Structure 1
């Protein structure tokens, strides 16, 4: 229904009146709501004000209590009581105010309880103050309790106030919103009212304007039709021109014809005066000039477009589709009969195929180009790109076709030559047939006589041919296997080198970070370093497993049989796996049958390796609660080791594959259990070495049983003098008395093998030791306490206590911790360095190695001499703490608490060194240092500065003039202090016993914390900067001056330039001249004939050591370098030199 103009106007007026009434009512309601919100805001502010009042009253009460405690003035007590009474008044007010908020009521109840406790505490404090019965400790206790209660009260007040503050903010926001809403309603109503007026005005005007609007719309439609007609004309032109271009390039067999037609047609269609095309060079990034059209000065056109250079180069590198330029004079020149002119516009379009720019088309115009040129270029770009690629492909195919035809011609020539050769062979065959015919006649005469002989000869010849063929095949296979083994060995050696070289840096640097000598790492960062070191060690174990497998497969592993006790074997297994099983929640059960012999003749190291592999797999694949067991039994001349578990089991089709290298039952990438799959492969190969067998029985979900069977061998009789362990230790000790000088060389030999004990005891006596023997750990501890030996040789496998545990016990006791202990074992090297032993030797021990052990024990025993140290420290507690620590380490300490006392003691007593604190009561430590160093009597005494102060550069320079070590006081500074003291005491000790040159098989003792290498110069020859960095850090930290060479030639040059180099660390694999050649060259010079050279290599393959020794190296160490072993080797060879 359509309303008349009058009805529309009346309706607008009525709507405006209703709108005014609605706006009034809405504004009234908004004002009422604003008043309510204002009341809530006032209520919230009252709560905050009341809460602040309670806090202030509580602070007033606390202040009065403290004032009363300090002054005993009754005024403070009155003020306190008034404040405490007012607190409860204000709390009641606060309860009423928050009664409408359940959350605040709960918080106020908590606050009420805390206030009660706080006031009770202050009342008790008041009673004690009034009764004068409080002490300083009691007052301190009250203060601490009060402080704790105050913190909790403050926390609850903050919660209440924060809640009210949040309510205040919310309610103020609501008030503002209600006010804003009222204003909005008024403004909106007024706006709508005005809008109605404007609408009515609009309706009045609309009739008049409708005719004008219709006229304008008609004009607009006419213009749009004209634009559409122009666009259609342009599109038709573009399509027509694109069709002409495509027709021009279609069917062109070569790229040159395609490019010429394309450029010519584009210039013709677009009225371009100049057209140029560039094409990408096959196999290169740059583009070369392909064709020009209309260019009168070719020198102005670049022939090569390099990506990134110039506008065109930027288009290539950025893959820009199109660029339109206003060119400068001289860019191109158009030459006509009437003169020269410069183009005004240039359009460049790139042709892109599969994301790469393959060509550029450049068009130049004297005037503004036709608008449809750019869409035209965009339209044809893809078709032209495909045509260019197709033309190039046709050219490549043509080249290949020509090449194929040439090869066919060559083959035809070769066939003709072969035909000629065949004809010659045919003629020769004819001649042979004639000869054969003559021979056949002769053979017919002899056939009857020689029939049987020919048959036999034929049979023999056939057998001979068969045997010869078989022999050739076997020889071929043998050669192939030999080459395969050689390649495998070379691969393993190179792989070992490539892996061990970076692993060397990882292990050394993570070890340095883990020690945290500079104390700049946090505990968390130290743990990170420990994880890195452990992960590197795991990787090294994996590398060793691979090399072990290769050695076993190639037959390069020999078994070393010895008598081994079954109980000792079980103890070793339990010590290894008990903790692991407990941590995983498994029950480890180890047992043996009654028919088992007490001892077996076997290679203990390899047998334990097999058992470790089997048990570690059983534990890995068994979940808690489960059981892993080992049962040893004897059956039909074979020892049987059955390892059973209740784990996941192995499918039948995988039970043979698991014994192959790098194979697992679950080889998927999502498998639950990790590992390399080498353990069982090594186990199988070692079992074959024992001439035994290994089998597995298993069902998925019901566990597995691996059974190892090895033949029981008997040891040959050994004619050795046996030490009677039943003999009393006192008799053994007093046997063969020696003179008083040798009474200091008391050696305790802890060994349960009587043959080895007798042999080592005889050798020790020949080296000047008095020998005590013990076959168990308990007897050894008793002998140590009774006779206090000067040195100990410890077997790591004892029947009652493991060697590791006994070593830790000795090093934990202050009375025995300084006795040098050298460990021996039939197993591989353990963690003796971390436990405090000076060295490790693997059985069997030859004569030279034994002599090396005894000489090193004598050398380490020198440190047991008493020395006198003057400790200058003004803090009595610190002085006693440091002094006790030095005394426990066998050092006699003289105490001085001031510079004057120190000077007086120095004038009366002789000392071997001074520990000096910088801060002294009567004189600065720096001045004291200057004073004693100017006195000739004291100038040579070594000084270690021990201070907690941060020294300035000036003070540090003064200290370094006389005292190189500066030890900062920390929790671990005493250990560093002891290291520095031992260092200068070592320098003033008697000359050490000389150590003879012995076989490199001897595992030298580890250098303890004594820094005996200070000032010694070492040449480090290595081409890997990671190794140089890591080894330099270790050597410099030990006190060495390190000279670097990156190849053999440079190492020889450094030796020529520097005369005081005392030892060379020579990496084997280096460029230009490797370590082997460099070692030979050094030994040719008589000047360096006695210079110690230690070879370092990451290959670690058999024969490396012998090759290094043959070249002239004194010793050998493989990467990753064990820091302690390296320093131990250096120590031995520096003493030997």
Structure 2
């Protein structure tokens, strides 16, 4: 029985006045005191902030002074105008910064006087700096003034004055901060004492009434809480039903519906594993959807008869089963961190109008509450109705598909009958028209029968001849394809075999032309340089011929990737800027403002085309400008425009220059050189990338080559046209190239020859060396010997391997600093 006395209205109003009105009044007073305190703090902060600004501006002026002195000294030491950049920039800013600083310290006469002295000293130093810089520009003697320390005294005095200026400002800032801190602390202490005192008094006076109110309201809240628990329980059950209905709404198929139901149950009841069985037409229960099963669980038994196992018994008994303490190996719950058995199992039948049409099996890793089981009872009819609707839609879909198939067959038959009727009608009209001519043609037919028999015999003979010719053409096509493949393989193999001795000649001729020992005459050095130049030309020709053979044989594979225009043009500018500068040509590279930042293409092939076009432009231009502009047209295609002011191309030569081995100068003088394959290869590569090369030129006025490419490489790039025309291609590197990509014709593994020289492996401890080492993997002993001698000449230890297996073993054992690798090794490709 509740014995607490209810509180009257007068006492309640008194409590409100004491605990609401009075705290509000005190709060207003406190707010006013707090606003005053904040106002004072803001004033103190403004004074400190003013000092900070003065110090910052002073530091900036000091930094500008140092930049002036540093720029001047850098220019005096190097004579490079770029070192005057900080000097010029500081000279333009220091006067503005000095005036700003004078305005900030206008309230301090001492600091104003000191800053004016600094400005005067700065002016004297600037006069000295301008004079010395002028002497350095006119190559007059200036070092004597620098050695005498002229200008140093003024700069040191400026530094000392600045340090004194900063020290005084820092002291003022500290004094202002200390004053603000002490006054603020005093105000805060007084404020806290008053606030805590009044708050304690109010708390003591109102505590008794509030405690009594609290006891009265606690009883009411406790009763209200019990009522809320019951309502929340009912709301949880009804909300679950509503959310399940929304989750399974729509025209879902049976598998999708089952998956939606299990996903919702797993989320609502924290289920670890779950499965749904649906009754088939034969009365068996077939698994339709699963949740949380591992691979083995998915493969387990999927069909149960009525009364078979727990699933079948649940359907037969039409009641929920709750199994506790499952065996350890009953079922496995698997995740990325481990696996284990569920703790409890619940099997719930679902029904449609009292008829069971499915069973839901749920595995829990925690005890199942009564609320969860009650909710499963409530949703059984909802899930069963949804399953029945999905089954009905499935059966209806099957009937609809059968009906559509029958309709299609009927339409086909009707179309065939209509066509037949039209043909019969046409034949009837033809028969009626020809009836009158039959008698006249009868006699003519009898005479022509004999002629037709003779012609039929002749046609049979011609058909046999045509068949034989067709067979011969197919055989010839196979022979041509085989010959093309053999030619590509031959070129690939020959390019490798030619490169090995050619690289030896290049290296030896380069060593001779360097004449490090100084024992060759100038004429012999010239001979060696001629051999080196001719070898490079031959290597370029081999690479170009190999590229053309790859294109013709269809062996080039494209690797599409995003190509940023900025990176591509930077690479071209780096490669050809020096060449253009060497010939005193202007070289302009830019991208149109409306062009996208990148596009998709094969970057290696694109760069090969641009290198050929830019190399030709620089080669055939003696004066003027070479430019590379990138833009997009209305169709979204990317246009690379290479324009020069060189010799130009006559109209009758504009198609011929794309022929293989066609050169701008075909005479014996060969002013321009080159292989004559660059433009032919470029045109074929452009076709592979799905684009083309356009040419506009006038003899004597320069040329414009435009490479037009799609915004992305097509999935099936068009085949390249047969090799036709090329201007001299870009020079290839003279280092040893990789072997051709075309496959060799099943080379037999030849025995590894023994070295004809002594390498350094016996004198190189495994894993460490006092000298850098290089590993040469080369099956040609003579060329390996050349590389061995070259490594020693460059102060390297050298290890030599004649096969891939031996090279791998030496690389793992000695860990060399570098490896020279032959791409065409006898035992396996490099």
- For normalisation by structure 2, the TM-score amounts to 0.34
**More relative contact order, 1 or 2 (CA 8 Å, 6+ apart):** 2
